[in-house]
């Protein structure tokens, strides 16, 4: 998955930050210790990796945690909000960023998928018409399964 998620820590509100606690922002294998406002970038490797913000004690034990779905960040493109973290809030600005090379790669992938879908539709159209014509020409056999609605029609056709 191409792209980068840029996280800007704008403000700490009511968070018990001290020398005995630490704030960690992570996504996938990328982890940052946050002690002040700043910008952090995370390569987007999968939409399954959420952005995780942890408040930990000195021993690394989790005090509070909040998670933000990567998919939501990608869908919104840009997002600025106050995220709850325990008794306080963290003011974050989240952005999904693509460079020109990544944009071109996605454009090519979309064109390829669209062409493949169009080819499948064109290939399946004549087959479905031929299959329908063959099915209509075949007589009903005693062991063919027919729905109840079609069964009454088939019986009246054979009775005539």
Query: Could you tell me if residue 106 is inside a domain?
Result: no
pLDDT (tens digit per residue) in 6-63: 999 999 888 777 777 888 999 999 999 887 888 999 998 888 899 999 988 888 889 8
Q: Is the pLDDT of residue 148 over 50?
A: no
Total number of domains constituting the chain: 1
The reported pLDDT for the residue numbered 88 is 87
Residue numbers of the domain that contains 43: 4-98
Query: Could you tell me if residue 131 is inside a domain?
Result: no
Rounded to whole angstroms, the Cα distance separating 147 from 144 reads: 10
Query: Could you tell me if residue 53 is inside a domain?
Result: yes
Going from the C-alpha of 83 to that of each of 11, 18, 66, the distances in angstroms are 11, 19, 8
- Whether the CB-CB separation of 68 and 83 falls below 8 Å is answered with yes
Look at the block and give the residue holding tokens 């499948």.
120
- Whether the CB-CB separation of 78 and 94 falls below 8 Å is answered with yes
CB atoms within 10 A of CB 68: 20
Query: Could you tell me if residue 76 is inside a domain?
Result: yes
CATH number at residue 27: 2.60.40.150
Query: Could you tell me if residue 140 is inside a domain?
Result: no
Query: Could you tell me if residue 40 is inside a domain?
Result: yes
pLDDT (tens digit per residue) in 67-105: 999 999 999 999 999 998 888 889 999 999 998 998 898
Query: Could you tell me if residue 37 is inside a domain?
Result: yes
Going from the C-alpha of 103 to that of each of 20, 43, 49, 117, 123, the distances in angstroms are 43, 15, 21, 21, 30
Query: Could you tell me if residue 108 is inside a domain?
Result: no
Q: Is the pLDDT of residue 160 over 80?
A: no
The reported pLDDT for the residue numbered 154 is 38
Greatest extent of the chain over all pairs of C-alpha atoms, in Å: 94
Which helix or strand (DSSP H or E) is residue 127 part of?
helix 100-137
């Amino acid at each position: 998955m191409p792209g980068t998620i840029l996280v800007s820590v704008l403000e700490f509100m009511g968070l018990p930050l001290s020398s005995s606690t630490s704030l960690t922002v992570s996504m996938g294998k990328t982890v940052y210790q946050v002690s002040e406002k700043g910008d952090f970038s995370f390569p987007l490797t999968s939409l399954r990796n959420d952005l995780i913000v942890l408040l930990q004690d000195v021993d690394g034990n989790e005090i509070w945690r909040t998670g933000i779905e990567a998919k939501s960040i990608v869908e919104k493109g840009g997002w600025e909000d106050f995220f709850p973290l325990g008794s306080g809030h963290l003011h974050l600005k989240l952005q999904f960023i693509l460079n020109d090379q990544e944009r071109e790669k996605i454009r090519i992938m979309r064109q390829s998928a669209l062409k493949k879908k169009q080819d499948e539709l064109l290939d399946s159209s004549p087959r479905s018409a031929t299959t329908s014509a063959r099915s209509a020409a075949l007589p009903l056999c005693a062991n063919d399964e027919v729905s109840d609605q079609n069964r009454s029609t088939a019986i009246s056709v054979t009775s005539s």
